[in-house]
A and B are shown apart, each in its own frame.
Chain A
Amino acid sequence: MTAGTRLPRPAARRPRALRRFGRNRLSLLGAGLVALVLALALFGPLLAPYPAHVAGGIDTAARFQPPSAAHPFGTNELGQDVLSLTLAGARVSVLAGFSVVLIGGTTGTLIGGIAGFLGGWIDEILMRLTDLMLIVPNLILAMTVAAVLGPGFQNMVLALALGWWPGYARLLRGEVLAARERPHVTAARAMGASQARVLVRHILPNCVSPVIVKMSLDMGFAILMVAGLGFIGIGVRPPVPEWGTMLATARAYMPDMWWVAMAPGLAIFVAVFGFNLLGDGLRDSLDPRGGR
């Protein structure tokens, strides 16, 4: 079904929004950085100059080599090439960040959409639940859940997504409350559309712009959170390369072996910076009325 897979975005604003986006240099830089990070996530392991190290191989003879032509970012305490590990680490970070935002975003969108659309006591219950979840700091909740479930990629994603949906629920509820008063929604009702159809076909598609913006901004935070969990040791376990875990290990050898920490730190910075710039740019072009 090709009709259903089309990206439902307010079409009237699309060409103008694209042009606005292209005029902003910072947005373009953000888009470029994001493209770079995504490319690394897809092809990083293939680009790694020392694939054996990515797979967990060590070379104790070459421990703590400073940056050189053979190892542009040096080697770590196990003699592994830091550049190779960082390139390969993009995959975990991006995949985890993306999963968290997607799961949290979808859940929150549904909860907020239903709350705003149905109103009444359902709205009350869902929104109080949302408030409750917002009280608990995200990282603390994720740490607790991850600690209970045990380390691992899936558990980490689950733990983060659990604290991620309330923001979307609030955002969507507000959008839906505004959108359901729009004339074309009444028009659809007047033409015999059912409740579900009104919500899915006529209200939600008109609320996607802010969700896309928030997802893009959140990707940066999610990557940061994933690295944070890795840093405190409840993320992905070595030998799977992950930026946060790499930083945590490197911390012990600072400041003398500074290069061990530099590459993963730089990678986190570039990824977060890129997604934030992209999100800001998207917000400015999709919602020119002003930022939040």
Chain B
Amino acid sequence: MPPLMPPLLEIRDLHLTMATRDGPAQVLTGVALRIARGEIWGLVGESGCGKTLTGLSVPRLVPCPPAHYPAGEVRLDGEDLMALSERRMRALRGRRIGMILQDPATSLNPTMRIGDQLADVALAAARHDPALLGPGPARTAARALAATMLDRVGIASARQRLSAWPHEFSGGMRQRVLIAMALIGAPDLLIADEPTSALDVPVQAQILALMQGMAADRGLGMILITHSMGVVARACSHVAVMYAGSIVETGPVVEVLDRPAHPYTRALMAAVPGRHTPRGTLRALPGTVPDLLAAPPGCRFAPRCPRATPACRAARPPLRPLGAGHAVACAHPDAPAHG
């Protein structure tokens, strides 16, 4: 059933090469994703598998050089972002694409008050969408909006907090401020890179609930970059598992977590303790992500895969649909028992 409308975000066959001192590294090799409004996608994988670079590639924040995109498209509502001028791209950042970077401790400018930072983003976004701010002088309206947003992300006495400095806030509060900042321009797409990894466990749950609530309220499409299957299970509607620069398994969370087909997905899940995990069954995945300078020609997971055959090492398996939106890039997947 081909959709009549283009999806909110469509990444097609995205390749990214990074120039290093030892030659070009193939960092992304054909990433593909389709995200609709209201969906929360979890992008999971080990460190260094390209999650963050995939996220940064959407608003084109990866510096080129050293990065280079030999192929691929990133379409927002059908418009190819890769073809836009820097000026047009900047108009989309903060306004249509909200972004939360990895570390809440360092993502705020230590020399600016919270309110000024929020108002700046609101003003920049309002330049492209004047309806964003209420009536009255722009600066005043932007500050009012900043207070409203702080209040909505659960910061008490928001109006007084506008004049606070970032160092006066705890990690959880800073993450709330960053969420407010990412959403103040009323974007359609929110990309959050490890939004909870730097936080205490109780705060993690609060932040996840907050983000889910905001996504539901505003019909946002969301990419949640994480290395935690727990976060995926708790907060996401869909999941894409990345390994060494490409997506190896994708689908609705219920499908993928209940019937993981790729050996890598299974390994990731086996490394997470559950309530009923018996002692001694928690298993670490042996080996590490391959050297991207000299990646194996076939399936990049083959060197660590218990089921690899010579065919796996010869050619890379494409993503094949398994039904119910579930797809896997593996020559020998576990056949998910449907029904």
Contact = CB atoms under 8 A, between A and B. Distances in A.
A201 interface: yes
Contacts of A202: 109, 112
Contacts of B106: 182-184
Contacts of B181: 191
Interface stretch (B89-97, B225-233, B246-254): B89-97
B94 A192 contact: yes
Nearest to B167: A12
Question: For this complex, into which size category does the number of interface residues on chain B fall?
Answer: 20 to 34
Contact of A12 (B116, B165, B185): B165
Contacts of A9: 111
Contacts of A201: 109, 112, 120
A192 B167 CA distance: 23
Interface in B279-316: none
A190 B93 contact: yes
B107 A11 contact: no
Given A192-B90, A192-B94, A183 B107 contact: yes
B103 interface: yes
Interface of A: 3, 8-12, 182-184, 186-194, 197, 201-202, 205-206
Nearest 7 A/B pairs, CB to CB: A192-B94, A12-B167, A190-B99, A191-B94, A205-B111, A192-B93, A183-B106
Nearest to B178: A187
7 contacts: A11-B110, A11-B165, A12-B166, A189-B61, A189-B93, A191-B94, A192-B90
A226 B56 CA distance: 53
Query: DSSP class of A's interface residues: helix, strand, loop or mixed?
Result: helix
A199 to B, nearest CB: 12
Of A187, A201, A205, A206, chain B has the most CB atoms within 10 Å of the CB of A187
Nearest to B91: A192
Contact of B99 (A11, A182, A191, A197): A191
Interface of B: 59, 61, 90-95, 99, 101-103, 106-112, 116, 120-121, 124-125, 165-167, 178, 181-182, 185
Nearest to A184: B109
A11 B109 contact: no
Given A9-B111, A12-B167, A202-B109, A186 B120 contact: no
Contacts of B92: 192
Of A12, A191, A202, chain B has the most CB atoms within 10 Å of the CB of A191
Nearest to B101: A187
B120 A193 contact: yes
A188 B61 CA distance: 11
Contacts of A184: 106-110
Of B109, B121, B125, chain A has the most CB atoms within 10 Å of the CB of B109
Contact of A10 (B99, B110, B182, B185): B110
B110 A206 contact: yes
Contacts of A194: 90, 124
A197 B120 contact: yes
A271 to B, nearest CB: 31
B109 A206 contact: yes
B222 to A, nearest CB: 15
Contact of B167 (A8, A11, A183, A206): A11
Contacts of A192: 90-95, 121, 124-125, 185
Contacts of B109: 184, 188, 201-202, 205-206
B111 A183 contact: no
A197 to B, nearest CB: 7
Contact of B102 (A3, A183, A193): A183
A281 to B, nearest CB: 22
A9 B167 CA distance: 13
Nearest to B89: A192
Contacts of A186: 61, 101
Contacts of B101: 183, 186-187, 190
Nearest to A3: B116
Contacts of B182: 191
A187 B116 contact: no
B124 A191 contact: yes
B120 A190 contact: no
A73 B258 CA distance: 94
A192 B90 CA distance: 5
A193 B124 contact: yes
A20 to B, nearest CB: 16
Contacts of B90: 192, 194
Given A190-B93, A191-B124, 5 more contacts: A12-B166, A187-B178, A192-B93, A197-B120, A206-B109
A190 B182 CA distance: 9
